[in-house]
Structure 1
Amino acid sequence: MRQLFLVVILALLTSCSTELTSYQGTQPAFAFRQFFNGHIKAWGMVTDYSNKLTRRFTTDIQASWQGNILTLDENFHYNDGSKQSRVWRITLDGNNITGQAGDVDGRAQGAIAGSVVNWHYVLNVPINNKNWKFKVDDWLYRIDDQVVINTSTLYKFGLPVGHVTLMMQKRK
C-alpha cells in the first residue's frame, strides 16, 4: 500500500510543471536562428527515474537553414561505443516551433519565451530489440551566445522514467 501511495504522490508532483510563459522577457533572449547555425558540440548523460547515471555521450550537430526550416543533423557517440544519428527538420514560425525526426512519432511542438524553449514529442527508443515510446518534455535554456543547456524528462504511463541532460556549445 505504501508503494502505491508513493507512486500516486510522485505522479501528482510531476504533473505540476513550469509554464513556459513564466520565462517571457528573460534574458538573454533565445536567438534560435543564430544559435542553431553551423557546428555545435554537445556533451550529455542519461539518468533513470532514480537519477542513476546509465549512459554518457557526445554529439556533433550540424545546423543549417533554408528559409524558416532548420535541419539539425545530430551524430551521437555513446560511452559504450554505440552510435546513433537523428536528423531533425524544424520549422520556426515566430516564437512557435514544430519539428519531425525519424524516431519521433508525429510532430514535436513547442515555443520560445525569453531565454527558454520548451517542446514536447513522442520518441521511439529501441530497448532490448523492442521499440518503446516515451513522451518527452524538452527544455532548452540559453546561458549565453555560446552555450545552451537542454534538460529532457521521459515519461511512460504518465510517470517520469528517465532524464537527459545535454550541454551544447556553439563552435566557430
Structure 2
Amino acid sequence: MNKVFLLIAMLLLSGCQSAVQSDEYQNMTPKIDVYNFFDGRVQAWGIVQNRNGELVQRFKVNINGSVDGDGRLVLDEKFSYGYGDGVKHRIWTISKNGSGYVGSAPDIATTAIGTTYGNALRWQYEMDLPVDDTTYRVVFDDWMWAFDNCSLMNRSYIKKFGFVVAEVTIFMQNTGANRDCTGGLH
C-alpha cells in the first residue's frame, strides 16, 4: 500500500515541473536582445497564480530602462496592484556576460543568471519571498520570449524544494517613441 501511495504522489508531483525546453527556441526569431528591448519605457501587465491555479496577484509595472556609464542596463520598476499586494519598487542592474546576462537587485538573494536561446531568455535567481508573516527562500525560473522588437511574454515558475508553488505570467511592451516594432509575429 505504501508503494502505491508513493508512486501516485510521485506522478502527481512530476506534473508540477516546468516543461520548457531551451533547444526549441534556438532558431526562432527575432533574437532576444535584453538591452535593446528594455531601452526606454516598458509597460507590463501580469498575474500570479498559486499551485492550484488560483489568482494571488494582478499587477502593472512601469519600467524605465537605461544604460549607465559602465555599460550596465538599469531597470527602474514601479509596481501597482489591482489584486493582492507585493513589492512596490525594484531596481535591476544587468550586465552582459558572454552571450548571456547577469543581474542583481536589492531584494534578490542571489545573482540572476540569464541565458539566451534564439528568441528566448531563461532568467534564474533566488529570492526571499514574504508571504503573510513568513519569508520563504524560493527559486525563480523565468522564461521570456520576444514576439517582435516591442513585445515580450514572460512566464515564471516559482519553486520551493524543486517543486513549482506558483506561476507568474507577464506581458511587456516597449512604448518608446519611433520604435520599429517589426521583426517578429505579424
Question: Is 1:123 the equivalent of 2:127?
Answer: yes
For 2:108, the equivalent position in structure 1 comes to: 104
For 1:74, the equivalent position in structure 2 comes to: 77
Q: 2: distance between equivalents of 1:107 and 1:44?
A: 23
For 2:180, the equivalent position in structure 1 comes to: none
Tell me by how many angstroms 1:110 deviates: 2.1
Q: Provide the secondary structure at the position in 1 that maps to 2:111.
A: strand
Percent identical: 30
1:66-96 deviation line (CA, Å, top 9, x unaligned): 2431111111101147561111111112421
Q: How many residues align?
A: 172
Q: 2: distance between equivalents of 1:47 and 1:7?
A: 22
Indicate the RMSD between aligned Cα atoms, in angstroms: 2.1
Please, which runs of 5 or more residues in structure 1 have no aligned partner? none
Q: Which residue, 32, 41, 44 being the options, matches 1:42?
A: 44
Task: Name the CA shift for 1:76/1:7 in 2 (closer, same or farther; >3 Å).
Answer: farther
| Matched residue type, 1:132 | Y
For 2:61, the equivalent position in structure 1 comes to: 59
| Matched residue type, 2:77 | E
Question: Is 1:92 the equivalent of 2:103?
Answer: no
Q: Which residue, 145, 150, 161 being the options, matches 2:154?
A: 150
| Matched residue type, 1:101 | A
Higher strand share: 1
Q: Given that residues 112 and 125 in structure 2 are in contact (C-alpha distance below 8 angstroms), is that contact kept between their aligned partners in structure 1? A: yes
Q: 2: distance between equivalents of 1:92 and 1:117?
A: 13
Q: Provide the secondary structure at the position in 1 that maps to 2:164.
A: strand
Q: 2: distance between equivalents of 1:10 and 1:37?
A: 42
Q: 1: distance between equivalents of 2:119 and 2:171?
A: 15
Q: 1: distance between equivalents of 2:90 and 2:71?
A: 20
Q: Provide the secondary structure at the position in 1 that maps to 2:27.
A: coil
Q: Given that residues 58 and 84 in structure 2 are in contact (C-alpha distance below 8 angstroms), is that contact kept between their aligned partners in structure 1? A: no
Q: Given that residues 141 and 148 in structure 1 are in contact (C-alpha distance below 8 angstroms), is that contact kept between their aligned partners in structure 2? A: yes
Tell me by how many angstroms 1:132 deviates: 1.3
Please, which runs of 5 or more residues in structure 2 have no aligned partner? 177-186
TM-score (norm 1): 0.90
Q: Flag the structure with larger Rg.
A: 2
